[in-house]
Amino acid sequence: MEEFVGEIWHKLITRQARTDFENARVHLASLQPQLAPYFRALGGESGKGIEGADHRVFNTNRRLVQRMAGSHRRFAVCWQDERSLRFPDSIAYFPDAEMNTSLYFWLTALAAELPQIKHWFVDNQTATLKLLKKRPGLIPEYQRLADAFILMRPSLVSLKGQDRQREEAIQQAIKEPGTIATLPIAKGDPIPLPLWVYPAPLHGLITSSEDDLEDQGKGNKAEENLDSNRKQAQRFDDSKQTDGLLVFQLECLFSWAEQVELDRCQEEDLDQDLSSAAEDLDIISLSRQRRAGSAKIKFDMDLPAPQNDDLPIGDGHRLPEWDYRKERMIQDYCLLQPMLADDALPSPVPEHLKNQARSLRNRFSMLQTNRQLQHRQLQGDEIDLDAWIDVKTQPHRNIDNQNLYINRDNNHRDLACLLLADLSMSTDAGLNAEQRVIDVIRDTMLLFAEALSATRDPFAIYGFSSVKNKQVRYQLLKNFAEPYNDQVRGRLQAVKPGFYTRMGAAIRQSSEILKLQKSQQRLLLILSDGKPNDIDRYEGRYGIEDTRKAVLEAKQQGLQPFCVTIDEKGNDYLPYLFGDQGYAVISDLTRLPILLPKLYLNLTGTHA
């Protein structure tokens, strides 16, 4: 009964304390595909992604009911850094959903105009003036948001002294940007302004030379459970285990204690408890000691033993990597190791793919080259006897026009294709009760190879994954010189997911292989399931920029890169990597094995 009454009381107090409008709530996820191109179109940095913003603490003046409910202490505001643009996961500030949607687009435009903040109060006013002058079409929308914003702010009648002066300055700065030079000082923080962009939170992560950050990895389970929100961090040095003073009361030695065995009714989920606890923390302290948790992470991320691993081919290749912060290429930074599944047994086409494979082979076989004989040519492969006899039997004809040869025109399809497949651990995710993502990718590569083998177009298939820059695993499945047979089919069926996605190095190596082909059209087809990432600094914008640099290098070499992804958020970053016409997002993953050969026909400008 006590719990029931407490729950009713909590709901009542929380309802009275709320200031948002739940019925008009708009979620970032529904607008993210529109906000990303809008941000780039208004001049925002193309390499930045759009992600959710975590709540941060504001020391605002709260009403009694808000203090009782424990609310209005943490707010999500818009901010950005060199990696991404951060928005609240949802906005319900205005009673109209259309207004909340307009607020997302206004913040996007303002963030594009204000990449860095030195003085929050002044810079937001200056950026607003510049934006409205540059984009006069935004003026009516901003006036509408500003008028609605003033109505949602605390009434000036209810405020006194310094609090009133500060609120008057804020409302005046919103109504007429640029008219207020300084923000009056008052106790506490002002209620957050949803129309402005805030500075990035301070990350108190202090490292020393003794701390090897490169060797600290992320556990696979932790990555699946944590969302994209960031936390403020501080380093806590607990390496000196002998420090401290043990204090106890001697009278405790003379007291009695009794153990009572109690049965706990519920089961504890340690991972869930840790995740929820981290979500509630404003600052996460990081320990220097690496005990059980660190050992567990290292166990998950270590490479397999040599006897259980694929066969390394050679000593590997040293490849460069682009550091966008320094704006230079770091030479010999990545070690790419070609790998071969030498224990894969030759296998035929799997039973569940035989009908589709037969249909594709019949369809694509119509694209085989046909040799046509062209008679009476100035040059050719052999002498045209009919033309030669005509010249000898009709000497009065012009002897200068001696078209005496036959040219065997192959009418050939002058193209080559390299398929590069992402084999990272994310492809181990379940798709349905019977299939994983890697299973669909495996079937896609098989059917793609069956189709191209029927055209006799030169093609190669490679897979890749990575463990930092120290080993980019480059899986050899079929090279250009190797015939397509059961041995290749066995390798394709033996592919396994693992590790991470250092895409830039894999694209550079694939470009070096593909550019050696003498074909006029050389297609680099990339099959991926998500963003470039790794457990070192190859995360976020760093990986995006390096991949984009590798794609640009491939285009400069005369290659045609094209990415096929199953990532639902691919529209947010793939236009920056491959261009508007350089990628395709597949919404139904189960159709990928059939769609990829069709896409190949469209990219090569042929019809079967």
* pTM, 2 dp: 0.67
Residue 215's CB is within 10 A of a number of other CB atoms, namely 12
Q: According to the model, what pLDDT value does residue 224 have?
A: 42
Higher pLDDT, 257 or 529: 529
Q: With pLDDT > 90 as the criterion, what percentage of the chain qualifies?
A: 48
Indicate if 329 and 475 belong to the same structural domain. yes
Residue 466's CB is within 10 A of a number of other CB atoms, namely 31
Q: Which residues contact 26 (CB under 8 A, 6 or more apart)?
A: 90, 91, 92, 97, 100, 101, 104
Last residue of a domain, one of 409, 438, 470: 409
Average pLDDT over residues 326-335: 94
CA distances from 218 to 504, 525, 534, 567 (A): 21, 30, 10, 21
Q: What is the mean pLDDT of the chain?
A: 82
Confidence label for 332 from pLDDT (cuts 50, 70 and 90) = very high
Q: According to the model, what pLDDT value does residue 481 have?
A: 92
Phi, psi of 464 (to 5 degrees): -150, 150
Phi, psi of 500 (to 5 degrees): -125, -170
Which of 100-104, 275-279, 339-343 is predicted with the least confidence, judged by mean pLDDT? 275-279
Residue 413's CB is within 10 A of a number of other CB atoms, namely 19
Confidence label for 483 from pLDDT (cuts 50, 70 and 90) = very high
Phi, psi of 499 (to 5 degrees): 70, -145
In a domain, 61, yes or no: yes
Average pLDDT over residues 466-495: 94
Task: List, for residues 336-386, the tens digit of each pLDDT value.
Answer: 999 999 889 999 999 999 999 999 999 888 876 545 566 677 777 777 777
Task: List, for residues 150-163, the tens digit of each pLDDT value.
Answer: 999 988 888 889 99
- Strands 415-422 and 459-467, bridge-based pairing: parallel
Indicate if 572 and 449 belong to the same structural domain. yes
In a domain, 186, yes or no: no
Q: Which residues contact 510 (CB under 8 A, 6 or more apart)?
A: 418, 420, 462, 524, 554
d(CA 99, CA 105): 10
Hey, what are 161's tokens? 């002294």
The yes-or-no verdict on residue 221 having pLDDT over 50 is no
In one-letter notation, the amino acid at residue 566 is I
Confidence label for 36 from pLDDT (cuts 50, 70 and 90) = confident
Q: 184-192 contacts: CB < 8 A, separation 24 or more?
A: 186/161, 186/162, 187/61, 187/162, 187/163, 188/59, 188/60, 188/61, 189/58, 189/59, 189/60, 190/60, 190/166, 191/58, 191/60, 191/153, 191/154, 192/58, 192/60, 192/75, 192/77
Which one-letter DSSP state was computed for residue 501? B
Count of structural domains within the chain: 3
Indicate if 36 and 143 belong to the same structural domain. yes
Indicate if 512 and 532 belong to the same structural domain. yes
Hey, what are 198's tokens? 């805030």
Residue whose token pair is 């607990």: 238
d(CA 132, CA 138): 6
Higher pLDDT, 250 or 573: 573
Confidence label for 605 from pLDDT (cuts 50, 70 and 90) = confident
Indicate if 74 and 114 belong to the same structural domain. yes
In a domain, 203, yes or no: no
Confidence label for 217 from pLDDT (cuts 50, 70 and 90) = very low
Q: According to the model, what pLDDT value does residue 352 have?
A: 93
Whether 225 and 253 have beta carbons less than 8 Å apart is answered as no
The yes-or-no verdict on residue 289 having pLDDT over 60 is no
Indicate if 40 and 92 belong to the same structural domain. yes
In a domain, 335, yes or no: yes
In a domain, 233, yes or no: no
Indicate if 35 and 156 belong to the same structural domain. yes
Q: Check which CATH number belongs to the domain holding 536 and give it.
A: 3.40.50.410
Q: According to the model, what pLDDT value does residue 571 have?
A: 86
Task: List, for residues 527-576, the tens digit of each pLDDT value.
Answer: 998 889 998 889 889 999 999 999 999 999 999 999 999 888 888 889 99
Task: List, for residues 498-534, the tens digit of each pLDDT value.
Answer: 899 999 999 999 999 999 998 889 999 999 988 899 9
Confidence label for 26 from pLDDT (cuts 50, 70 and 90) = very high
In a domain, 354, yes or no: yes
Residue 596's CB is within 10 A of a number of other CB atoms, namely 21
Q: According to the model, what pLDDT value does residue 139 have?
A: 94
Confidence label for 37 from pLDDT (cuts 50, 70 and 90) = confident
Average pLDDT over residues 118-134: 93
Q: With pLDDT > 70 as the criterion, what percentage of the chain qualifies?
A: 78
Which of 153-162, 187-196, 203-212 is predicted with the least confidence, judged by mean pLDDT? 203-212
Last residue of a domain, one of 122, 156, 175: 175
Higher pLDDT, 67 or 121: 121
Whether 364 and 597 have beta carbons less than 8 Å apart is answered as yes
Indicate if 42 and 86 belong to the same structural domain. yes
Indicate if 511 and 401 belong to the same structural domain. no
d(CA 289, CA 213): 13
Whether 506 and 472 have beta carbons less than 8 Å apart is answered as yes
Last residue of a domain, one of 175, 195, 212: 175
Whether 384 and 377 have beta carbons less than 8 Å apart is answered as yes
Which one-letter DSSP state was computed for residue 533? B
| Sheet strands (E) in 415-534 | 415-422, 459-467, 471-478, 521-528
In a domain, 521, yes or no: yes
**Residue 552: in which H helix or E strand, if any?**
helix 541-556
Indicate if 378 and 323 belong to the same structural domain. no
434-451 in b/e form (b: 16+ CB < 10 A) is: eeebbbbbbbbbbbbbbb
d(CA 581, CA 107): 28
Indicate if 375 and 510 belong to the same structural domain. no
The yes-or-no verdict on residue 206 having pLDDT over 60 is no
Domain, as residue range, for 495: 312-365+413-604
Whether 465 and 327 have beta carbons less than 8 Å apart is answered as no
Average pLDDT over residues 36-61: 87
Most confidently predicted of 32-46, 64-78, 553-567: 553-567
Higher pLDDT, 568 or 400: 568
Confidence label for 190 from pLDDT (cuts 50, 70 and 90) = very high
Indicate if 431 and 385 belong to the same structural domain. no
Which of 20-29, 216-225, 296-305 is predicted with the least confidence, judged by mean pLDDT? 216-225
What residues form DSSP beta bridges with 466?
472, 500
In a domain, 352, yes or no: yes
Average pLDDT over residues 435-455: 93
Q: According to the model, what pLDDT value does residue 219 have?
A: 42
The yes-or-no verdict on residue 101 having pLDDT over 80 is yes
